[in-house]
Amino acid sequence: MTHQIAILGASGYTGAELVRLIATHPTFEVAALSADRKAGMQMRQVFPHLRHLDLPELVKIDEIDFTGIDLCFCALPHVASQQIIPSIPEHVKIVDLSADFRLRDPADYEKWYGQPHQAVGVQGQAVYGLTEFYRDQIRGARLVAGTGCNAATGQFALRPLIAAGVIDLDEIIVDLKAGASGAGRSLKEHLLFSEMFENVKGYSLGSTHRHLGEFDQEFGAIAGRPVEIIFTPHLIAATRGILISAYLRGEAQAIHDTFVAAYADEPFVQVLPLGQAPAMKDVRGSNFVHVGVVGDRRPGRATVIATLDNLTKGSSGQAVQNANLMLAEPETAGLMLAPLYP
């Protein structure tokens, strides 16, 4: 049975990535695409790499007839998402890729995003979208809130360790390296090629990045007490990919054992042999996460290195994975594409 899919905000990178994945998905079919400022254009005019696909014209959101739509991916910017989602008909399941429904407490939203939440009621129905850890709730959800891409990477590296109590919760330091596409197709000076090429730069320094709202919420819930990690992202000269190095207090062997147990049955999470670390390009274009653990010359210290593709597992691939569950399809449907290397 084919599921009819709508994508709101199709002219951004996560929108294009959704279309790429659905193009070879066995049961999903793109039925509607919105892009307010590009309404009236064909997708191939906005993204020529999709030229071979027969896709509906881009329209404004209010032009979409949701009657036959089974599921809607909402790839709009935050704030826009919370304004639109309440108006989507109840029969339509929703996977939101924005930041708007990730934080369960509206006060947290206001703290990290600087303004009051405008759809507190809908927020209450949202399930946090990190599939591997919210599988059961996602299956029955009407609205799933996709995670931040940085937040996803950090959680794959830390959730099992916090749950198992194998690391010191007060000494978690995460250094993150991320490519440009996580910032989308927006026109900002620091995203220009000439600025980024042969460059590395920290941003949101001093543990001020918004995705810390997700870390705080999730890690606190697992630990049953506040967990405040130290977190610095760096923008690197890559398009896709996030790699984190987490500096931890704990035994490497216990950490590795914990990962092996936690991820044994996960189709998308690969744990490397103890002492090995993944490279960022090993997951490019795929829905896989690679996780490695290395001990340190200092006893009781270890480093966890984890990597994923921000546009796939960090956002649009995760969204399709969640949609598969919501529509009772196999979780891996359309997502077993191997990484593109080199």
Task: Select from 120, 208, 221, 330 the one that contacts its own copies (CB under 8 A).
Answer: 208
Return the number of the residue (139 or 234) whose C-beta is nearest its own copies.
234
The footprint of its own copies on this chain (CB under 8 A) covers a number of residues equal to 86
74 catalytically annotated: no
250: part of which helix (H) or strand (E)? none
Return the number of the residue (53 or 260) whose C-beta is nearest its own copies.
53
Give the total residue count for the chain. Answer: 342
Q: Tell me if 209 sits within 8 A of 228, measured CB to CB.
A: no
Would you count residue 223 as binding its own copies (CB under 8 A)? no
Around Cβ 37, how many Cβ atoms within 10 Å?
8
CB of 220 to its own copies, least distance (A): 14
Return the number of the residue (107 or 340) whose C-beta is nearest its own copies.
340
Would you count residue 57 as binding its own copies (CB under 8 A)? no
CB of 331 to its own copies, least distance (A): 14
What number of CA atoms fall less than 13 Å from residue 44's CA on the CB side? Answer: 7
Task: Select from 57, 139, 301, 333 the one that contacts its own copies (CB under 8 A).
Answer: 301
Task: Select from 36, 108, 175, 251 the one that contacts its own copies (CB under 8 A).
Answer: 175
Which among 88, 149, 222, 255 is annotated as catalytic? 149
Terminal CA-CA length for the chain: 36
CB of 263 to its own copies, least distance (A): 12
Task: Select from 197, 224, 264, 328 the one that contacts its own copies (CB under 8 A).
Answer: 197
Restricted to residues 94-123, the positions that interact with its own copies (CB under 8 A) are none
Site map (CB under 8 A) of its own copies, residues 253-272, x = contact:
--------------xx-x-x
Task: Report d(CA 138, CA 121) in Å as an integer.
Answer: 18
Q: Which two tokens stand for residue 17?
A: 């990535």
CB of 76 to its own copies, least distance (A): 18
Around Cβ 124, how many Cβ atoms within 10 Å?
11
> Which residue, chain included where needed, has tokens 């405008």?
118
Return the number of the residue (187 or 328) whose C-beta is nearest its own copies.
187
Return the number of the residue (3 or 240) whose C-beta is nearest its own copies.
240
Would you count residue 326 as binding its own copies (CB under 8 A)? no
CA-closest candidate to residue 61, choices 95, 84, 29, 30: 84
The region of 63-71, 77-85, 99-107, 183-191 touching its own copies under the rule CB under 8 A is 183-191
Q: Tell me if 63 sits within 8 A of 33, measured CB to CB.
A: no
38: part of which helix (H) or strand (E)? none
Task: Report d(CA 39, CA 60) in Å as an integer.
Answer: 6
CA-closest candidate to residue 178, choices 233, 247, 254: 233
Q: Identify the three-state secondary structure at position 183.
A: helix
Task: Report d(CA 49, CA 164) in Å as an integer.
Answer: 44
CB of 67 to its own copies, least distance (A): 28
Residues designated catalytic: 149
